Structures are given as C-alpha cells and as structure tokens.
Amino acid sequence: MRFTLRDSRRQPAAPKRTARRSLIGLVAFAALLLSACTAPQPTREPYPSDTGYPNGLIGTWRLDFGGEVFADNTISFATREFTAHTCDQDYHGTWAALNGAIVAQPEGYPDCPNADMAGPMFSWLTAAATVVRDGDGWSLRDSDGERTVRLVPARDGDAPRLVTPPPVLDDEARQWLAPPAPLPSGLAEGDVTGRWESTGGSLAGVILEFWADGWNISDDCGEIYGRWAQPEGGGPLATTLVVAPFESCDVSALTAAFADLRLAGFDGETLVLLDGDAREIGRFIRTGDPMRAVDLLGLWLADVEGLDEATSLFAGPGYLALTNICGSVSFTWLSVGSEMLASAYSGHGCLAPGEPAVRAFERSVEFEKIDDAWQFTNRDGTVTATMREPEGSGPQDENYPLDEPQRALLRAGHQAPHPLPRSLDSGSVAGAWSVEGASSIELAFTANGTWSMSHCSDAGGRWRQIGDVLLLSPPPVEQAQCVERATNSRWSSEARLAGFDGDTLVLLDAYGAELARFGKVT
C-alpha cells in the first residue's frame, strides 16, 4: 500500500504575537478536559503485539545511517510526542502511526555545526512515510521505499542525555495507537486535498487546507499545522499537529477538536471528519483548490518570451529567479490559487529590471499545468514562460526539500487568506489614499499595477487585486522598515486582504486582522 507524506508550515506571525507554550502541553490539557467532560468513550481494539508495529516504536532509539551509529543522537517516541536529541539539545514534536505509515512534525530544527550528523533539518524523520521491522530495530522509509534511517535500540550511557522518565508502552499508548473504527455507513471514502470551510457549530469560521505537502487548521485568531498520510484513494488518516512557534492566540480549542482526527468521509459533497472512535468532529464544504505554488518549487528549464538563450527558472517559496548566459533576475513571487504577481527587484545584463523580457514576465497573472509543462500567461492569455523539468531529474518536491523558514515563506506568500470580515464591504483599492493620523503621507495604487507611498524615499512596488485578496509586492527592507515606523504597521509586507468601512480603505492580514486604515484623497 502506497502512502503519500504531507507536511506544512504557517507564515511568521505579526510582531504583536509572542512565543507561546508547546503544543504538547495543550494536547495533554485538551485530553484531560475531554476526559472530564464527556461520557465513557468506546474502546477500540489495540494492536495485539507490544513489539510489533506500531506499539513497538514506543521507546528510545539510536540512529543508524548506513552502518554508522551516532550514540549521541537519539529519538524517543512516547504517546503523541517525540523527543529527538542532537547537538546537545532536545527537540520536540508530535507523531502518529497508522496502517504501516508514520508521520512526524518537529516543533523546531537543530542549528549547530554537526546538525548534518543527524540528517539535515531532521530530513531522515520528516521524509519518512512508512516504517518496517528491521532486526531488533526499525527502518524508516520514504515514499519511494528508500530507507532514511535505521532505529537501533538505545542502551544506558549511549546518549549524553536520554529522556527521563523513559517512554513506556502503557494502556494509554496502546489505545492511542489502536486502529480506528470503521467509517460509518452513509459516508464514502475520497480525496481530502483542497480548501474547506466549516459548515458551522462549534467550529464556525474554521478553515482547513489539505494540500499536496501538508495540512493546516486556522480560524480568525491563529493556526496550527502538521503532516498527514492517507492511503491512495482514501482511508484512515495519520495526522500530526503543532502550534506555530510565534502564535500568541489561544488555539487550544482547535487543538482539542482535531488532536484525535483519524477518519475522513464524504456525505455527498460535504467532507466529514471523525476521531478514531468514528465520532464526528465537524463538517466542511469545499471552498477552493489546495495551494498550487508548492508544485512549482525547484529548478526548471524555461522558454521565456523575448529570450532566445537557454534559460533556467528557479522557483523558491517567495521568489522566482531567471538565469541565462546574458544575465539573471530575481522576482518577488506571490500567488493565490493559480493567480500570481511577480515583481523584479534585482538583476543584471539582459535580465536587469526594466528590460523588455523582464517586463514581459512581470505581466504574468496566472500559471497552470498543461500536460508535462507549466505555463505562465498574461491578461491577454499570451504565454510569457513555459517550464519543464530538466532531463534526468526526479520529482520537483524531491529536488527542493523545504526547511522551516522556507515553508514559512511559502505559506506567507501563497496560502489563500480567510474571507473578508462581514463588517467590511468589497471594492477596488485603485486611487489615492491618505494615512490615518498622518494625512501628509499618501498611498497610491495606480492603474498600471504599481503602488507608491509619498514617504520613505517613495517606497513602493507592484500590486494586484483578485476579489478581496490583495497581492502586494513588498518594498526593499529599508523602505519597509520606514513604512512601518511612519504608519505604525507592517501592512506593506503583511497585507493580504482589502475591504472598505464606508469610504475608508482597510488593509488586513491573511487571518482578517486589521493592519491599517486609509482615507480617500479627493
């Protein structure tokens, strides 16, 4: 049975948010709260073997990379959580195992000279899709069946600091690892990838996104994210969740609601999520496709309008780079669904900002996959660039593994925002506006797709509005810092929504939090 590994990160929070407590504490609190407030729960039948999959994973393990065992690098699997020890530090996260699959989501990553001894950025763990018995240990394997690491039983004194007390396979762990109940009759299996909004009840306003490389849950306050695995064609879910590192909103209700998600079914077009005992968590309706930008990450061969030379295009989480023999250029890259905005910020030679080929590419407004190629097109439907995989390369997601800062950029620039608050009206931002409290500072959105502010050395960039969604290329760092000081807001780098309160323009972040207000200049 083939599993697909999924992973996600959320965007860095606004500066008003501060570091919060670990998800592990929240999960424990939620579990106690639920156990105290609910009737006795039905008991699922645990796996019979304490040494087989998945019960036998509970414990502490050394890491074996091709016969080389690092005694000072260990991982301990306990109920719901794991602790990885490397670089003389402990790193925590959550994990789950189901139907031969394993998913794990670290809360942080090592930053030390010998981090690669335990696999860069825990790639040996985050790339793992399945786990199989291997002698007295376990082998973690990626989605292609290649081993990422062998887990060898740890011995006292092997590691400078093992988890104390050591993880124990108790009844709680057995029940948590037990296979879920069958999907209730009347619900059909299916593919959960997409963007979903709650139909109401206690989860009103909650938005889910299952995308090709992860999943996240958000409301108008904050967000939690994680990894997921599901057999192809549908079936039980193995999921993990962690809280964003800088989240200050209280997301304990979200955590409690989804901590035991194990089943997904469809009642017609409605997605129904259930826990391991087949009790309903919530119902959701599809509101869009999953984030598409993740499919473009990596290196491509590109045919670009106006360029005869062979050109390569590198797509990163928040930027695009074109390179050929006569020059190179970098673009800020933002998108929502298949709609996009590219704004050149540095380059040289025939690809310097302002050159015809660069200006032609900046007019790209949409990207889509046609057969084995991706195409960028402008408003007239003219193809501005076509991208294909280089000969002999593997899938793009293998060519471009993402670390946490890169995933934060991906989500910040490409995740669809929440709906506009109902207290605001829709409308076009085009025109001239004055900053509330500083009427001498004007903001202008021009018809040719540029924006500027009469302050901070005429800070500005490119803009595009898609309904209520605002794609705004940020100014250079120094100008962005000046804008923040002048307006007491980071709207130039964080705005993703635009609405109106009467004649007042209101810019908001992706979660609907207000960033700044501007009055109309008459």
Per-residue pLDDT tens digits for 250-307? 778 788 888 889 999 999 999 999 999 999 999 999 988 777 888 888 889 999 998 9
| 215 and 316 assigned to the same domain | no
Q: Torsions phi, psi of 429, nearest 5? A: -85, -10
| 165 and 198 assigned to the same domain | no
pLDDT of residue 435: 84
In a domain, 426, yes or no: no
Q: Torsions phi, psi of 366, nearest 5? A: -155, 150
Percent of the chain with pLDDT over 90: 42
pLDDT of residue 244: 59
Domain boundary (161, 177, 193) is at 177
| 203 and 240 assigned to the same domain | yes
Say if residue 397's pLDDT is above 70: no
Q: From CA 475, how far away is CA 345, in angstroms rounded? A: 9
Which residues on adjacent β-strands are paired with residue 342? Answer: 333
Question: Which uninterrupted H or E stretch holds 14?
Answer: none
| 397 and 444 assigned to the same domain | no
| 352 and 389 assigned to the same domain | yes
- Mean pLDDT in residue range 465-494: 91
pLDDT of residue 55: 96
**How many domains, the chain?**
4
Say if residue 2's pLDDT is above 60: no
| 311 and 404 assigned to the same domain | yes
Percent of the chain with pLDDT over 70: 81
Which tokens is 420 given? 């506009």
Q: Is 229 helix (H, G, I), strand (E, B) or coil?
A: strand
Q: How many residues does the chain have?
A: 522
Q: In this predicted model, which residue has the larger pLDDT, 275 or 234?
A: 275
Which residues on adjacent β-strands are paired with residue 272? Answer: 265, 283
| 335 and 374 assigned to the same domain | yes
- Mean pLDDT in residue range 341-346: 94
Which residues on adjacent β-strands are paired with residue 63? Answer: 70, 151
DSSP string, 157-196: TSSSS--SSPP---HHHHHHHSPPPPPPTT-B-----EEE
The pLDDT-based confidence of 25 (bands split at 50, 70, 90) is very low
pLDDT of residue 23: 39
> What are 357-370's pLDDT values in tens digits?
999 999 999 999 99
Q: Shortest CA distance to 236 belongs to which of 105, 100, 99, 131?
A: 99
Tell me the residue range of the domain where 386 lies. Answer: 293-414
Q: From CA 504, how far away is CA 157, in angstroms rounded? A: 66
Cis geometry, peptide bond prior to residue 417 (ω within 30 degrees of 0) = no
pTM flag (> 0.85): no
Domain boundary (354, 384, 414) is at 414
- Mean pLDDT in residue range 67-75: 77
Q: Shortest CA distance to 117 belongs to which of 158, 69, 162, 76?
A: 69
Let me know: does 505 contact 433? Beta carbons within 8 Å.
yes
> What are 160-197's pLDDT values in tens digits?
455 667 899 999 999 999 999 999 999 999 888 888 99
Domain boundary (248, 273, 288) is at 288
Least confidently predicted of 18-32, 228-242, 390-404 = 18-32
If you average pLDDT over every residue of the chain, what do you get? 82
| 171 and 188 assigned to the same domain | no
In a domain, 492, yes or no: yes
pLDDT of residue 73: 82
Q: From CA 169, how far away is CA 273, in angstroms rounded? A: 28
pLDDT of residue 14: 33
In a domain, 50, yes or no: no
The pLDDT-based confidence of 66 (bands split at 50, 70, 90) is confident
| 352 and 275 assigned to the same domain | no
Indicate which CATH number applies to the domain containing 379.
Answer: 2.40.128
Say if residue 49's pLDDT is above 60: yes
Which tokens is 507 given? 């810019």
| 169 and 198 assigned to the same domain | no
| 9 and 85 assigned to the same domain | no
In a domain, 398, yes or no: yes
Q: In this predicted model, which residue has the larger pLDDT, 58 or 164?
A: 58
Least confidently predicted of 245-249, 439-443, 444-448 = 245-249
Q: Torsions phi, psi of 423, nearest 5? A: -75, -10
Q: Taking every pair of C-alpha atoms in the chain, what is the biggest distance, in angstroms?
A: 77
pLDDT of residue 452: 92
Distant-in-sequence, close-in-space partners of 476: CB < 8 Å, separation ≥ 6:
345
Task: Let me know the angle formed at the C-alpha of 253 by 250 and 255, rounded to the nearest 5 degrees.
Answer: 95
Let me know: does 195 contact 290? Beta carbons within 8 Å.
yes
Indicate which CATH number applies to the domain containing 142.
Answer: 2.40.128.270
pLDDT of residue 112: 61
> What are 141-152's pLDDT values in tens digits?
988 899 989 999
Q: From CA 497, how far away is CA 493, in angstroms rounded? A: 12
Q: From CA 338, how far away is CA 366, in angstroms rounded? A: 5
Buried b (16+ CB within 10 A) or exposed e, 191-212: ebbbbbbbeeeebeebbbbbbe
> What are 94-133's pLDDT values in tens digits?
999 988 889 888 886 666 655 444 455 577 888 888 999 9
| 15 and 71 assigned to the same domain | no
Task: Let me know the angle formed at the C-alpha of 121 by 103 and 252, rounded to the nearest 5 degrees.
Answer: 50
Least confidently predicted of 60-74, 225-239, 286-300, 348-362 = 225-239
In a domain, 419, yes or no: no
In a domain, 168, yes or no: yes
Say if residue 462's pLDDT is above 90: yes
Q: Is 398 helix (H, G, I), strand (E, B) or coil?
A: helix
In a domain, 49, yes or no: no
In a domain, 202, yes or no: yes
Q: In this predicted model, which residue has the larger pLDDT, 394 or 204?
A: 204
Let me know: does 71 contact 159? Beta carbons within 8 Å.
yes
